[in-house]
Amino acid sequence: MKIVLFWHRRDLRQHDNAGLAAALQSGYPVVPLFIYDREILDLLPSRRDARVTFIYDEVERLARQTEQAGGTFLAFYGKPLEVFAQLVQQYEVAAVYTNEDYEPYATVRDAAVAGLLHQAGAELRAYKDQVIFAKNEILSKSGTPPKVFGAYSKAWLAALRDEHLAPYPSRELFTAANLTQLPKAAPRPTLEQMNFERLEQEVPAAELPAEELVRNYHNTRDKPGLVNSSTRRSVHLRFGTLSVRELMRQARALNPKLLNELIWRDFFMMLLWHFPYTATESYDPRLRQVPYRNNEDEFKAWCEGRTGYPLVDAGMRELNQTGYMPNRARIAAAGFLVKHLLIDWRWGDRYFADKLLDYDMAQNVGNWQWMAGTGAVAAPWFRVYSPQSQQEQYDPTFAYVWQWVPEFGTCEYPKPMVEHKFARERAIATFRAAYQAKE
Ligand SMILES: Cc1cc2nc3c(=O)[nH]c(=O)nc-3n(C[C@H](O)[C@H](O)[C@H](O)COP(=O)(O)OP(=O)(O)OC[C@H]3O[C@@H](n4cnc5c(N)ncnc54)[C@H](O)[C@@H]3O)c2cc1C
C-alpha cells in the first residue's frame, strides 16, 4: 500500500495547516510524522530545555489525536536523512508533504531530503504555512527584497486578500478515511530515551488572546509592568501550535498595531531567507569589523541581570527564570549589551537563542542586528538609547522592575556598571571608526 507521510516541523497542530490539508487531499492514506532532529538537539547547551519539553508534549498530543482519529503517528529521534532513508525502505512512500521552513539549516536539509526521496521515486512537497507572504512574494519595484520596513508593509497590505488569511480544512479532513494504521510502527521515543530532562515553563493556552487585550494592545504593549501587556503568543507562532492566519485575522479586525507587529515577523523571515549569512554575520560590511571589547566578566553580569540598570536587569532575570522577556526589555537589554558594553551582538543573539522559549532565528537575528545597527534593516548605528530614560518611560512606577529585581532600591543592588554618557560617546566613536574605515 502506498502512503503519504506528513512531516510536522514548525506546525504542531492539526487545524488550519496548509501542508497537512494538501496531504489529506492527496488521495493516499496519510501518516503524520515528527523527527526529533539530532542535528539541532545535539547542539543544545543543556539537556534540561523547556522547548524540548514543550515540543515533546505537543507531539504526544498530536499522536494521541491521530490515534483517536484512527491513524498512526510516527516519531523518531535521529537525523532526518537517515530517518527518511529507512522509511523509504520500510514503506511504499508516494510523497512526503510538509510546510516550508526558511532557516538556513532547514533549506539545506530539505534539499537533501528532497534528493533522497527523488532517488526512491518519491517527492518532497512543501507548502507556505508559517507566514502570509514568503520569499519573493513581496519585492520592491526594482525586483529586490525591500530593505525598508515601511515600504515592505505597504506592499504587504496592498497584496493582502481575504483568501491569504482563510483557514485550511486540515482538521475537517483528518478522518480515518484519509489516515491509515501501520502494523509495525516503531514506538515513539520518550524524553528520557532522548536523554532530556523534563523542564516545564508556563505558557498561555494555544488559542487566540482575549478580544479586550487585542483591542487595547497599542496602549499596553510597551508597558511590561502590566499583566497581559502583550499577547504572549510568540511561542505558539514559533512552534505552530497557533496558526498565524488565525491571529492575523483577529489583528486585522481589531488592531492595526498588532497586525503591524505580525508583518515584522514576515519581514524578518523574508530577510533571513534572502540573506542567510546574516544568521552569523552583520549584513552591513562596513560594520563587520567593529572592535568590540567583548569583556567576559561584563557579559556575565549582563547575563545574570547585574548591570545596575533595572530595566535591563529585570528583563534578563525574567528571561533566565521563565524563558520569556517583553519586547521593551529585549530592546533595552540588547542595546545595552552592544552599545554600552561594546559586546558583539552575536554573543547576545546566542544567549537569547539558548534561553528564549520563543527563539526564532529570523526574529532574533533581525532584531539583534536592528539594535546593533548592523542589519539589512536597522536603527542608525549611532543611536544609543539611555537605559534609564527607557525605564522611566516604559516602567515609571517600577512595577516591572520590582517584580524581577526585589533588591532594587536597597544597598544590595549594584551601581550602574558603566555611566551612560561615557558609554554613549565611546560606542559612537567605536562604531564611527569601523564605519568610516570601510567607506
Ligand atoms: C533583541 C530582540 C530579540 C528578539 N528575539 C525574538 C525571538 O527570538 N523570537 C520572537 O518571536 N521574537 C523575538 N523578538 C521580537 C519580540 O520581542 C517578541 O516577538 C515579543 O516580545 C513576543 O511577545 P508577544 O508574543 O507578547 O508579542 P506581541 O507584542 O503580542 O506581538 C505579537 C506577535 O508579533 C510578532 N512580533 C512582535 N514584535 C516583534 C518584533 N520586534 N519583531 C518580529 N516580530 C515581532 C511576534 O510574533 C509576536 O508574538 C526579539 C526582539 C528583540 C528586541
What distance in angstroms lies between residue 177's CA and the mean position of ligand 1's atoms? 40
CATH value at residue 240: 1.25.40.80
Q: Do residues 81 and 15 both lie within one domain?
A: yes
In this predicted complex, what is the ipTM? Answer: 0.99
Instruction: Please say if the pLDDT value at position 436 is more than 90.
Output: no
- Burial of 350 by CB count in 10 Å (0-12 exposed, 13-18 middle, 19+ buried)? middle
Q: Do residues 381 and 434 both lie within one domain?
A: yes
Among the three residues 221, 255, 274, which one is the final residue of a domain in this structure?
274
Q: Do residues 96 and 219 both lie within one domain?
A: no
Q: Do residues 109 and 146 both lie within one domain?
A: no
Number of domains in the chain: 3
Among the three residues 221, 244, 274, which one is the final residue of a domain in this structure?
274
Instruction: Categorize the per-residue pLDDT at 439 as very low, low, confident or very high, splitting at 50, 70 and 90.
Output: low
The string of pLDDT tens digits covering residues 247-301 is: 999 999 999 999 999 999 999 999 999 999 999 999 999 899 999 999 999 999 9
**Ligand 1 atom nearest 268 alpha carbon:** 43
What distance in angstroms lies between residue 69's CA and the mean position of ligand 1's atoms? 35
Q: Do residues 294 and 365 both lie within one domain?
A: yes
What distance in angstroms lies between residue 337's CA and the mean position of ligand 1's atoms? 18
Ligand 1 binding pocket includes 262 (Cβ within 6 Å): yes
**Ligand 1 atom nearest 361 alpha carbon:** 8
**Ligand 1 atom nearest 262 alpha carbon:** 34
Nearest CA to ligand 1 atom 8: 359
Q: Do residues 26 and 154 both lie within one domain?
A: no
What distance in angstroms lies between residue 363's CA and the mean position of ligand 1's atoms? 7
Instruction: Categorize the per-residue pLDDT at 438 as very low, low, confident or very high, splitting at 50, 70 and 90.
Output: low
Does residue 186 fall inside a structural domain?
A: no
Instruction: Categorize the per-residue pLDDT at 435 as very low, low, confident or very high, splitting at 50, 70 and 90.
Output: confident
Q: Do residues 238 and 250 both lie within one domain?
A: yes
CATH value at residue 98: 3.40.50.620
Q: Do residues 239 and 332 both lie within one domain?
A: no
Does residue 195 fall inside a structural domain?
A: no
Ligand 1 binding pocket includes 88 (Cβ within 6 Å): no
Instruction: Domain of residue 368: give its range.
Output: 279-438
Q: Do residues 290 and 412 both lie within one domain?
A: yes
Q: Do residues 312 and 384 both lie within one domain?
A: yes
